[in-house]
Each structure stands twice: as C-alpha cells, then as structure tokens.
Amino acid sequence: MADNGKRKWLVPTLATGLGVLILVILLANRGQAPVVHYVPVQREDLSASISSNGKVEPISPSIAHAEFPTFVEKIAATEGQSVHRGQLILTLDASDIRAQLSQARANLLAAQTDLRNARAGGSPDELAQLNGDLAKAQANVANLEQTQKALEQLSAKQAATLYEVAQNQAALAQARATLETLRQKKAALTQRASGDAEGADLRAKQAQDQIQSLQEKLRSATVVAASDGTLYSLPVHAGDYVKVGDTLAEMADLRHVRVRAFVDEPDLGALEPNQVVQVAWDAKPGQTWAGRTEQVPKQVVSRGARSVGEVLCSIDNDKLELLPNVNVDVHVLVHARQGALVVPRAAVRYDNGQHFVFVYGGDKIHRRDITVGIASAQKYEVISGLQLGDRVVLPGDMQVLRDGMDVRATEAKS
C-alpha cells in the first residue's frame, strides 16, 4: 500500500516540474531577437530574356502545286534529300494537256487565217470572183456607152435606126444595173469583212491566251528544283490523283531558317531587331541554335487563349538539323549587363511606387530605397541605393520585417 501511495504522488510532481521547466525556457527565449538570413550584394553578369514558343519555317521556299487535275506519272527524288538546281523531282501525266494544246494551236491558225482574209476584204476566192465580175461589168458598161454614143451619131446621120439606138440603150441600162449590184455586193463584203476581222482578232487572242496557259501547265507537269537546297516535303507518290492546288513538293535552302516566335503581349515592348536568339528543340535535348531577331510585330493577334505578337527570327542551321514546321522553344536576350550590382528578386519589395530592401547591420535591419535596372528570372540589377558587400535580408516564413527591428542574422547558403 505504501508503494502505491508513493506512485500517486510521483506523477503529479514530475508533471509540475516539467511544466516549470518549459515555462523557464519560454521566459528565457522571450526576449531573443528573431533570426533572419541575408545575402551580400555582389557583382555578376546579368541578362534578361524573353521565353516563348515558336515554329520553324523555311526562308523563300519553293513550293510546287498541281495546276491541273491528273495523275502522278513518275517520282524521281526522295523526301529529305539534297537537290540541285534543275534536278528532276517528279512528272505528271500531261497527255490531255498536250491534246488540248494541239487543238488550241489549230484554232489559232484558223483564226489568224480568218483575220488575214477579213483584213483583205474577204476570202481570196470570193474576193477574186467578185473583182473579176466587177471588171467585166465595168468593161461591158464602157463598151455599151461607146456603142451608144456611136449609134446616136449614126442615127443623126440616118445611118442607124432608132430601134438599134433603143436596143443598145436598154442593154446599157441593164449593164449599169449589174455593175451597181456588184458594187453594192463589194461594199457589203467589205463591211462584213470588217466585222469578221474583229471576231477573228478576238478568237486569235483567245487562242493565244489558251496556248500560253496550256504551255505553262505543260511545263508544270515536270517539277524540277528551282535552286540548290533540301527537298523537305514530298507528299505524293507515283499513281496518286492530284487536284488543282494540291502540294506536290516543297524545297528550300535550310542552312538558314526562320523561326516565327509567339511572344505574349506584355513582353513585346522589350523587343528590337537584331537581338540575340537561342532556339531549343525537344527532339534534340541539350542542343541549341543561335540567331537574331529580324522583324518585331506591328500588331497583336489571338492564338488560342493567348494574345501574342509574331516575331520573325533568322536562325543558323548549318547542319540542317532543324526541320521546317517543328515546334521549338525560343529565348530572346533583350538586355545584358556585365559586372552589374545584383540582388535576389526575392529580397526586393515594392511599396507605393518605390522598390526597397532591408539591409542588415549592427544587429538591426533598416529599410533602404533602391533603383532597379534590368532583371533576370532570379535577380535585379541595382542602379542606386546599395553598395558592394551590403547585406540584404531575405524574406522569412515566420516574421514580418520592420525598419529598425533587432534581429540575429546568418548568411544564406547558396
């Protein structure tokens, strides 16, 4: 029983002692300053860049399209191969175009013949016949007029009868009527020929235009490389049916390519021509391609849920590893400073239009207004307000920093 009583008193005693110990520790620590971490102000090479995505495009590509519906007759190259100027890529079946071209040439010849005839006043046979008839009629009238004059003189001398005079007079009237009819026929032929000339001239021009169009189609049936480069797209095969406008082949010099970068609207103000660009492609991790901005956007467009400007960048691709139409990551170096005075972005605060930091010294922290320059993802350039070696306090998780606060400080680990 005595042992049980001792146990009953021992537990409360130990609990009371533990509570007193905790209270003593709390009271001892109550007056200690909070702990903060700082980093010294340093000089570093600082760069600011804009990161976005983009798409690779060939510069001045040569794209062959089908100019008439037909079948692919022959493929003479392979997608991805290097090609030389004039090298055959493929041919299309152009037998129908050749037949149409032959008919158009025949139509042109007929129209040119009609035009010559019309400009001459009519067809040679009809014109020759009419001119011959006119000449005969004119001669006949002239002869009858001479005869009439002679008969009238003879009649006055009573050497010819009045009947003979009247008979010749009737013949002369008929000859004159025939001549007038032929002249009217000649005038009608000339007038008709003038209208025929306009129609024949129109038909000749139409035939010439058709021939030119068919000749261009016939030339397009043989697809050759326009210049030295890479055949980066060949979407057709022998025997395929193609429609007007279908793409047959795409070629370009891929040693220099263009990247169309899609930069978000808030970042557009920092862009200028000739800024350094680096491009990365997920298909080749760890590898980058260098280039420069060429053209900054003049407008903003919607791209999905984003509002972006399209920045054109020229990229060196000597090894021909970047392929057209692939998606890439784009980094544009917009600012760079060597030996800049820098502080972590996390240490910089902003209040009522003023950037400031807390600087540690003499077991206290003090607010220091600063002017910042360029910024990277992690650091700010400090233009004024700090000196090399100043100890700038980083924000903590447990305390609110105030100007003049007593603190215990340790240097933050890198």
| Residue 120: pLDDT over 60 | yes
Q: What integer is the mean pLDDT of 177-188?
A: 76
> What does the pLDDT look like over 242-279, one tens digit per residue?
999 999 999 999 999 999 999 999 889 889 999 999 99
Q: What integer is the mean pLDDT of 299-325?
A: 93
Indicate the range of 164-168, 227-231, 295-299, 388-392 predicted with least confidence: 164-168
**Confidence (pLDDT) at 5:** 52
d(CA 219, CA 277): 42
> What does the pLDDT look like over 327-385, one tens digit per residue?
999 999 988 889 999 999 999 998 888 999 999 998 899 999 999 988 887 889 999 99
d(CA 47, CA 335): 6
Indicate the range of 125-139, 251-265, 285-299, 305-319 predicted with least confidence: 125-139
| Residue 29: pLDDT over 50 | no
Write down the residue that tokens 């100027």 correspond to.
Answer: 85
d(CA 187, CA 193): 10
Q: What spatial distance separates the first Cα and last Cα of the chain, rounded to whole Å?
A: 64
Q: Name the token pair of 16.
A: 């009371």
Instruction: Give the type of residue at 71.
Output: F
| Residue 25: pLDDT over 50 | no
Between residues 152 and 58, the one the model is more confident about: 58
d(CA 169, CA 149): 10
**Confidence (pLDDT) at 369:** 95
Pairing of strands 70-75, 241-242: antiparallel
Specify which residues 65 forms β-bridges with: 247
**Confidence (pLDDT) at 130:** 67
**Confidence (pLDDT) at 30:** 47
pLDDT band of residue 70 (cuts 50, 70, 90) is very high
**Confidence (pLDDT) at 337:** 87
For 388, other C-beta atoms within 10 Å of its C-beta total 10
Closest CA to 359 of 385, 339, 378, 380: 385
| Residue 14: pLDDT over 60 | no
**Confidence (pLDDT) at 238:** 96
Confirm if 72 and 242 have CB atoms less than 8 A apart: yes
Average pLDDT, the chain: 86
Specify which residues 43 forms β-bridges with: 341
| Residue 312: pLDDT over 80 | yes
What is the percentage of the chain residues whose pLDDT exceeds 90? 55
Q: Is the pTM of this model over 0.85?
A: no
Between residues 240 and 136, the one the model is more confident about: 240
| Residue 136: pLDDT over 50 | yes
**Confidence (pLDDT) at 188:** 67
**Confidence (pLDDT) at 26:** 44
SS (H, E, C) the chain: CHHHHHHHHHHHHHHHHHHHHHHHHHHHHCCCCCEEEEEECEEEEEEEEEEEEEEEEECCCEEEECCCCEEEEEECCCCCCEECCCCEEEEECCHHHHHHHHHHHHHHHHHHHHHHHHHHCCCHHHHHHHHHHHHHHHHHHHHHHHHHHHHHHHHHCCCCCHHHHHHHHHHHHHHHHHHHHHHHHHHHHHHHHHHHHHHHHHHHHHHHHHHHHHHHHHHHCEEECCCCEEEEECCCCCCCEECCCCEEEEEECCCEEEEEEEEEHHHHHHCCCCCEEEEECCCCCCCEEEEEEEECCCCCEEECCEEEEEEEEEEECCCCCCCCCCEEEEEEEEEEEEEEEEEEHHHCEEECCEEEEEEEECCEEEEEEEEEEEECCCEEEEEECCCCCCEEECCCCCCCCCCCCECEEEECCC
| Most confident of the following: 93-97, 152-156, 162-166 | 93-97
> What does the pLDDT look like over 202-245, one tens digit per residue?
889 999 999 999 999 999 999 999 999 999 999 999 999 999 99
Which phi and psi (to 5°) does residue 71 adopt? -110, 150
**Confidence (pLDDT) at 71:** 97
What is the percentage of the chain residues whose pLDDT exceeds 70? 87
**Confidence (pLDDT) at 177:** 86
Q: What integer is the mean pLDDT of 189-194?
A: 63
